[in-house]
Amino acid sequence: MNRINQLRYLAAFSLAYLLPAASWSADTIDEIVVTADYRERTASELPASITLLDSDAIESLAVQHFEELINVIPNLNWSGDGHRARYFQIRGVGELEQYQGAPNPSVGFLLDDIDFSGIGTVATLFDIEQIEVLRGPQGTRYGANALAGLIYLRSTEPTAEFNGRAEFTVGDDAMVAGGLAFGGSLSADDKVTFRLSAHHHESNGYRDNPYLGRDDTNGREETTIRGRLRWLPNDAWRIDLTTMLADVNNGYDAFALDNSYTMLSDKPGKDAQKSLGASVRAEYVGRDDLTLTSITAIADSDIDFDFDADWGNAESWAPVTYDYVSRNDRNRSTVSQELRLASSKWLLGVYGMRLEDDLDTLNTGDYYDPFFDFADSLFDPFGSQYAASNIAVFGQYDHDFNEATRLTAGIRAERRSADYTDSSGLTMSPAESIWGGELTLGHDHTDRVRSYASLSKGYKAGGFNLGIVPADLREFSAEELWNLEAGFKSSLLDGALQLNAALFVSRRVDQQVRTSLQLVPGDPASFIFLTVNADRGDTLGFEADLSWQPTDSLKLYANIGLLDATFEDFDERPDLKGRRQAHAPDYTLAFGGSYHHRSGAFARLDISARDAFYFDVSHDQKSAAYELVNARLGYEANSWTVQLWARNLFDEAYAVRGFYFGNEPPDFPNTLYTRLGDPRQLGVTFDKRFQ
């Protein structure tokens, strides 16, 4: 579908719906509050494109990790560079990997106010109450780390009433998982409440390694412990303390020479992340609803990312000797503080963050070709220390023209400075001032139908390239993203039908593009990754979600994302002009439904599809379009549920990441190597709730 036809179709679709909207029912219903917003409005009141998943949706759509939900969220993609989803792309904007020590994420990722942007491996789902995906630049609310948007996960909040749950799951691939969560009041007056949860998951990881005689070299071992405490000292104060430990100790043996699930590596790797985090959110409500909010968060993450760089063994390459390994040990710590003062009309705030990222890398290898009597070896240790400080001031003002129409204006100014040193002698200390903001006009057509139009600017700090790069490419500039968007939110038929849609046009100025080069042919560990600026990138897109409950027993939904994201001006790569951007499929679709019989039996079917997409900008290799089907059958009683589930029911083979380079001696022809997503898996989950 070309761009003009897209616009015609989407305009016709929007008009056909909006014109008769006033004739629908206007009764009010309860809605879930969006906690990632300043004002904590409902999803229908928030003038932005958002996907919101509550605990019921999370538990019925996924088994263990956030990556299992990505296919049902419009215009969201991920890079399978590691074992679990760590890097995300919203509307085609986001990183694909980070092997070097200067993090600069485009997609914000927060878990209970703790910042894990760029290291989303810890996103396990047990006892997660709500997930919010905000699409488009969040220049006022979250600044430089949310150029593309924000993913916000919130765990279950404490309540005064004692309640809890126990869950146990078994499945093929030797999967076993169990979790326990409970909470209640710690004081007679219910002013102190708590919530504790613990969960462990393990499986073999879907790969076989006949050379080592193992089926668990890509295995999963994931443990999460969370604690929450709420204190209400008086009617004016509310203080929330959250702590967490996530220990994701996964193997990493995921790339095969024949792009299958059969591995040949003799030194399988690891993709592990152990994170400790805590946050304190304190809120004071004074006179005239004047609110003071303080959010303090800290996190410390140890990340091991190791892999067999040649993906083979001595028998694979005989008589050539070809053996390379890459080991990467990273420690990242963050401390952040936000203070804001808000009334019903205005908001002012300050924000500060300190990020430190230390990386130690060791690439080793041996090569010997007996036919040419050529030998080479590699021993390349590398270490870097990176620290960045962000200070921001921000404000927002709401003006009501009348009861139905309002204007919101927001702005954020940010100062970022960084210090970097590494073992190669490179020292960098960049600093810059950047800003973003928004201007949004919202209108309530009825109590159930709202529309909005917004102009927003997001930003991302500039930076520098490491290692051996041309002098004129050592540094790259900050990026700006301008987004013009129009949309509507609706809740019709007494809340039985909900339909939301957004049409947007974006322009990326000085777009940061990550590409790669292989410095030494035959050395798979000699890739360098560098970022350059494209003058301009343009995106036209559309998102819509529909949910309909025609009866008490039947629920249906459909989500769609359309995307046309292209490079327009790119002096460094004129061959890319007009080409689609990486990991930006033209369409993402999801639809399905659930049926609950009054006896307690239930069934659910979910179908998702996405178009082919380019794997990278350094080559023209693409994934194949694919469709996935998930299903569930179960029985629900008053306090327990048992269900049989199937993920990827028809065992579709699909790629989540692809590299194109030479990795097979002696000629090393350029070849596409893909990492496959999870194959079919069947399992049974038993869930017991108590109070």
Return d(Cα 577, Cα 94) in angstroms, integer: 19
Q: What's the mean pLDDT in 149-174?
A: 96
- Residue 500 within any structural domain of the chain: yes
- Residue 506 within any structural domain of the chain: yes
- Residue 584 within any structural domain of the chain: no
Average per-residue pLDDT for the chain:
91
- Residue 114 burial (C-beta neighbours within 10 Å; 0-12, 13-18, 19+): buried
pLDDT in tens, 316-345: 999 999 999 999 999 999 999 999 999 999
The answer on pLDDT for 90 being more than 90 is yes
- Residue carrying structure tokens 């070809």: 322
Are 185 and 158 in contact by the 8 Å Cβ rule? The answer is: no
Residues 6+ apart with CB under 8 A from 105: 94, 95, 117, 118, 145
pLDDT in tens, 514-549: 876 665 666 665 666 788 899 999 999 999 999 999
Selection from 501, 508, 393 nearest residue 458 by Cα? 508
- Residue 495 within any structural domain of the chain: yes
Number of helical H runs and strand E runs in the chain: 3, 34
569 versus 245: which is more confidently predicted?
Answer: 245
Name the percent of the chain lying above pLDDT 90: 80
The two most distant CA atoms of the chain are separated, in Å, by 85
- Residue 244 burial (C-beta neighbours within 10 Å; 0-12, 13-18, 19+): buried
166: β partners:
180, 688
- Residue 663 burial (C-beta neighbours within 10 Å; 0-12, 13-18, 19+): buried
420: β partners:
386, 428
pTM: 0.93
Are 556 and 590 in contact by the 8 Å Cβ rule? The answer is: no
Using alpha carbons only, what angle is made at residue 62 by residues 61 and 66, rounded to the nearest 5 degrees? Answer: 120
Q: Percent helix, strand, coil in the chain (nearest 5)? A: 10, 60, 35
Alpha helices in 118-264 (DSSP H): none
The answer on pLDDT for 207 being more than 50 is yes
Residue 488, domain CATH: 2.40.170.20
Instruction: Name the token pair of 103.
Output: 């993090």
- Domain extent, residue 446, equals 3-579+591-690
The dihedral built from the CA positions of residue 490, 493, 495 and 497, taken in this order, carries a sign that is: negative
The answer on pLDDT for 386 being more than 90 is yes
- Residue carrying structure tokens 């928004």: 438
Are 462 and 433 in contact by the 8 Å Cβ rule? The answer is: no
What per-residue confidence (pLDDT) applies to 516? 67
Return d(Cα 233, Cα 12) in angstroms, integer: 54
- Residue 521 within any structural domain of the chain: yes
Count of domains observed in the chain? 1
- Residue 265 within any structural domain of the chain: yes
Instruction: Name the token pair of 438.
Output: 């928004």
Are 200 and 225 in contact by the 8 Å Cβ rule? The answer is: no
- Residue 585 within any structural domain of the chain: no
432: β partners:
416
What per-residue confidence (pLDDT) applies to 522? 65
- Residue 586 within any structural domain of the chain: no
